[in-house]
Amino acid sequence: MSDTAGALTGGTEGNGEYRPGYERVAEQILEFIAESRLTPGDRLPTEIELAGRLGTSRAVVREAVKILSALGRVRAHKGRGLFVADDEGMLTASRWGGFFRPTDLDHIFSLFEFRRVQEMAASSLAATRATPAELRAIEVAVETCRHGFVHGQVEVFNQADEDFHAGVAAASHNTFLVEAVRDARRLQRQSSAIGIHDVLSEHAEAAVEEHAAIYEAIRDGRPEAAAQATAVHLDKTLEDYRRAIQRRLFG
C-alpha cells in the first residue's frame, strides 16, 4: 500500500480503535499550531509544505484541512493560503472538537441525539414565541430549500437548510438553544466536509416536506406537533447520514 493510501485509510491506535489517516493528520496540524504558538489570523504553511513536514501526501493534508475548516480551527482563503481561525471558531472547537469523529457512526448517532433534544425544544418554544418576522424568515428558508432541490442547486439547498434550523432556534428566544444548535450543526458539517453531502442526498426531497411540516406547526402555534415533526426530520436525516458514511467507508 502506498503512503497516500495508508494515510487515507488510517490505522488503529494502541487500543485497537480505527482512526482515519486524515483525522490523525488534522491532530498533527493542531499540534503544529500550538507548538509554533500561532494565533488567530496567522498564516499556516501551504498544503505542500505541511505534507512535507508531516510525512504524508497533499491529498491527505487537504482532507485534514477540510475537517479543521468545518471545526473552525483554520480558514482557507482562495489565492492567499491557510490561516489560523478567529477566536470564536477556536472556542467552539476546543469545546467539542477534541473528541468528535465525523466518520464514526457512534459519534454521528450521539450528535443527532443531542440535536434531537435541542431542536425539539427549540421548535416547541418557537411555536409559542415566534414573531411575524421570524415566521417569515423560516418560511423563506423552507421555500428556498424547495427551490434548491427542484433545480438541483446544492449550495442553495444547503444554505437554506442552515437558515431554516438557525431560524427555528432564533424563534425560540433562548440564547443557549441558539448557541447549542449552531455548535451541533457545525460539528455535523464536518461529515459534509469530507464529502458525505457534496450532492443532494436521497433524503433531500423528503427533507423539504419535513421542513414545511415543522414550519406549519410553529406558524399554527402547536408546540407538541412542532417538536414531533422535528424529531421525525432528524431521525430521517440520521438514516441518510448512516447510508452516506457506510457507502464512503465500505463502497
Element (H, E) at 173: none
Cell of 54: 508531516
Please tell me the distance from the alpha carbon of residue 60 to that of residue 22, in angstroms, as a whole number: 5
The C-alpha cell at 161 is 437548510
Q: How many residues does the chain have?
A: 251
DSSP 8-state class, residue 79: T
- Distance in angstroms (rounded) separating the CA atoms of residues 165 and 123: 9
User: What's the sign of the alpha-carbon dihedral 85, 89, 95, 101?
Assistant: negative
Per-residue pLDDT reduced to its tens digit, 200-240:
667 888 999 999 999 999 999 999 999 999 999 999 988 88
pLDDT tens digits along 40-78: 888 999 999 999 999 999 999 998 888 888 767 888 887
Q: Side-chain half-sphere of 127: how many Cα atoms within 13 Å? A: 22
Residue 11 pLDDT class (50, 70, 90 cuts): low
137-161 tens-digit pLDDT = 999 999 999 999 999 998 899 899 9
Residues 9 and 21 sit within 8 Å (Cβ to Cβ): yes
Q: Which candidate, 119, 116, 123, places its Cα nearest to that of 226?
A: 123
Per residue in 20-35, pLDDT (tens digit) is 788 888 888 888 887 8
Cα–chain-centroid distance for residue 141? 18
> What's residue 92's pLDDT?
46
247 pLDDT higher than 60: yes
Give the model confidence (pLDDT) of 89-104 as tens digits: 433 444 555 566 666 7
Specify the 3-state DSSP secondary structure of 11. Answer: strand
Q: Which domains does the chain have, with CATH numbers?
A: 3-90 (1.10.10.10), 105-250 (1.20.120.530)
Give strand pairing partners of 81.
Answer: 77
pTM for this predicted structure: 0.62
